[in-house]
A and B are shown apart, each in its own frame.
Chain A
Amino acid sequence: QKEVEQNSGPLSVPEGAIASLNCTYSDRGSQSFFWYRQYSGKSPELIMSIYSNGDKEDGRFTAQLNKASQYVSLLIRDSQPSDSATYLCAATYNNNDMRFGAGTRLTVKP
């Protein structure tokens, strides 16, 4: 069974802090990994993609991938109230099969 697991949260951090979101996946055949942000009542929007081991930074966001541990994480630095949303982790298998975690709900308190 190809599964993607996330802590459901909710995760609450104060404004300006670092938010750390974690994700594990079950199938070592997974090739690509993504983080989506979903505001309440809206559709998911892609914020980060990562394909190889290590860190990838984009502005305040850093994605980390460790294929040996089957672990993906997302760090949000200088968290803002506008970052409050549900974050979905996704992993692809064979290009046409994308599996999503249930999401972690993040609240950034002013």
Chain B
Amino acid sequence: DGGITQSPKYLFRKEGQNVTLSCEQNLNHDAMYWYRQDPGQGLRLIYYSQIVNDFQKGDIAEGYSVSREKKESFPLTVTSAQKNPTAFYLCASRDPTRETQYFGPGTRLLVL
């Protein structure tokens, strides 16, 4: 089955700790995205990558970092500099033939 997977489903972070959210896709899509969703709000773009070894900051990149070493993988690290990390994190990849994005199941990050 083709799709996007994210892990873990729930993640707990202690103060001062960096945590990494995993995103993997087997859709052979070049472009991948990370969004943050807060309760009652829309999706805000954190980072995106159009191709391997390249990525760009989105609207709210501060306190986050990414890498894109493989086409299939686009992990997001939430650093200790992100003071309010509690949110629902969504990874997506873009189908270039339909110009649309498909989402993984999401990771809910909570602060202890």
Binding site for B on A (CB under 8 A): 4, 8, 31-32, 34, 42-46, 49, 51, 88, 90, 92, 95-96, 98, 100-103
Q: Is the CB of B99 within 8 A of A42?
A: no
Q: A44-B90, A96-B31, A96-B48 are in contact. Are A88 and B42 (CB under 8 A)?
A: yes
Binding site for A on B (CB under 8 A): 31, 33, 40-43, 45, 48, 50, 90, 94, 96, 98-106
A32 to B40, CA, bound (A): 24
Number of A-B residue pairs at CB separation under 8 A? 46
A53 to B48, CA, bound (A): 29
A residues near B102, Cβ cutoff 8 Å: 46
B residues near A96, Cβ cutoff 8 Å: 31, 48, 50, 94
Give the residue of B31, B100, B105 whose beta carbon is less than 8 angstroms from that of A42: B105
Q: Is the CB of A34 within 8 A of B100?
A: yes
B residues near A44, Cβ cutoff 8 Å: 43, 90, 103
A8 to B45, CA, bound (A): 20
A residues near B40, Cβ cutoff 8 Å: 8, 102
A residues near B45, Cβ cutoff 8 Å: 98
A residues near B48, Cβ cutoff 8 Å: 96
B residues near A4, Cβ cutoff 8 Å: 42
